[in-house]
């Protein structure tokens, strides 16, 4: 491990145990990107981590009026609020029931309840592709490897064998409208090549839409679109995708 990564790990441990863990043990109220948020215990706190703010600022730059947006892993609902305020109709899902409650409460607090529908769901399990079709799927995903031992850890750890990304890559195309896209934020603090490998196998076309350098890491917003061109070379990739 490089010296920079060692310093990063030490900083994270001190920051988490000295500040974040104590703050997230109780319900707190905070402001971010012009919205008032209530964040209960076990729900990802968007102000303590830079990923949500970075993706939220990018979403604010998009022409979303009249668009349909799915927020996967909605947490406090900050990305849903940003998209709804820009004119989108938003569906918010999270595996953590406390996050679903928080998103509903924060939509009410910010007068956006009519534009945000929140559901408890493990990825797409509670959605129907014949009913739910989206222009954008947005997510601040659990990109760290390893099994989550608590519901709070599910916001950070995507499971062994890259399972969250594999499930997302396999299922997302059925829920995207023509020319629809996934927008996700990733960090150089993890293995980005491995994180994006399932999308490559499922024939997504990707591009880096934005990047930001922080003290110990670089953040990336990745835009992923399913390939619309099927040729003989695609068959092997598709068979690998469907076996995920």
Fold that domain 32-242 belongs to in CATH: Rossmann fold (3.40.50)
- Rounded to whole angstroms, how far apart are CA atoms 79 and 35? 10
DSSP code string of 83-127: HHHTT-EEEEEES-HHHHHHHHHHHHHTT-GGGEEEEE-STTTT-
pLDDT category of residue 234 using cuts at 50, 70 and 90: very low
**Mean pLDDT lowest among 34-43, 127-136, 224-233:** 224-233
pLDDT category of residue 22 using cuts at 50, 70 and 90: low
Size of the chain in residues: 244
Segment 162-197, tens digit of pLDDT: 999 999 999 999 999 999 999 999 999 899 999 999
Supply φ then ψ for residue 49, to 5 degrees: -130, 145
Q: Alpha-carbon torsion 224, 161, 167, 154, what sign?
A: negative
Given a cut of 50, whether residue 73 has pLDDT beyond it is yes
**Mean pLDDT lowest among 3-7, 212-216, 228-232:** 228-232
DSSP code string of 15-72: HIIIIIHHHTTS-EEEEETTEEEEE-TTS--TTTSHHHHHHHHHHHTS--TT-EEEEE
Q: What are the domain boundaries of the chain?
A: 32-242
Best CA proximity match to 186, nearest among 163, 152, 211, 160: 211
**Mean pLDDT lowest among 109-113, 164-168, 230-234:** 230-234
Given a cut of 50, whether residue 235 has pLDDT beyond it is no
* Cβ(146)–Cβ(101) below 8 Å: no
- Rounded to whole angstroms, how far apart are CA atoms 211 and 221? 6
Mean pLDDT of 22-36: 85
Report pLDDT for 15: 44
Supply φ then ψ for residue 131, to 5 degrees: -115, -40
- Rounded to whole angstroms, how far apart are CA atoms 158 and 112? 30
């Amino acid at each position: 491990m490089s010296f920079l990564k060692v310093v990063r790990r030490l900083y994270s441990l001190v920051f988490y145990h000295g500040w974040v863990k104590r703050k997230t043990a109780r319900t707190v109220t905070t402001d971010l990107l012009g919205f008032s948020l209530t964040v209960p215990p076990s729900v990802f706190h968007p102000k303590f981590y830079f990923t949500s703010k970075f993706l939220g600022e990018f979403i604010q730059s998009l022409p979303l009026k009249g668009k349909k947006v799915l927020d996967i892993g909605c947490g406090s609902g900050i990305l849903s609020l940003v998209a709804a305020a820009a004119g989108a109709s938003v569906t918010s899902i999270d595996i953590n029931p406390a996050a679903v409650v928080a998103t509903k409460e924060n939509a009410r607090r910010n007068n956006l309840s009519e534009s945000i529908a929140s559901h408890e769901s493990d990825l797409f399990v509670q959605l129907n592709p014949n009913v739910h079709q989206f222009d954008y799927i947005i997510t601040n995903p659990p990109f760290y490897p390893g099994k989550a031992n608590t519901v709070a850890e599910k916001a950070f750890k995507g499971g062994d064998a890259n399972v969250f990304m594999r499930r997302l890559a396999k299922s997302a195309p059925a829920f995207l409208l023509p020319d629809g896209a996934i927008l996700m934020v990733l960090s150089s603090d993890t293995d980005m090549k491995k994180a994006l490998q399932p999308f490559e196998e499922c024939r997504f076309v990707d591009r880096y839409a934005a990047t930001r350098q922080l003290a110990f890491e670089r953040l990336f917003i990745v835009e992923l679109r399913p390939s619309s061109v099927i040729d003989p070379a695609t068959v092997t990739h598709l068979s690998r995708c469907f076996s995920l």
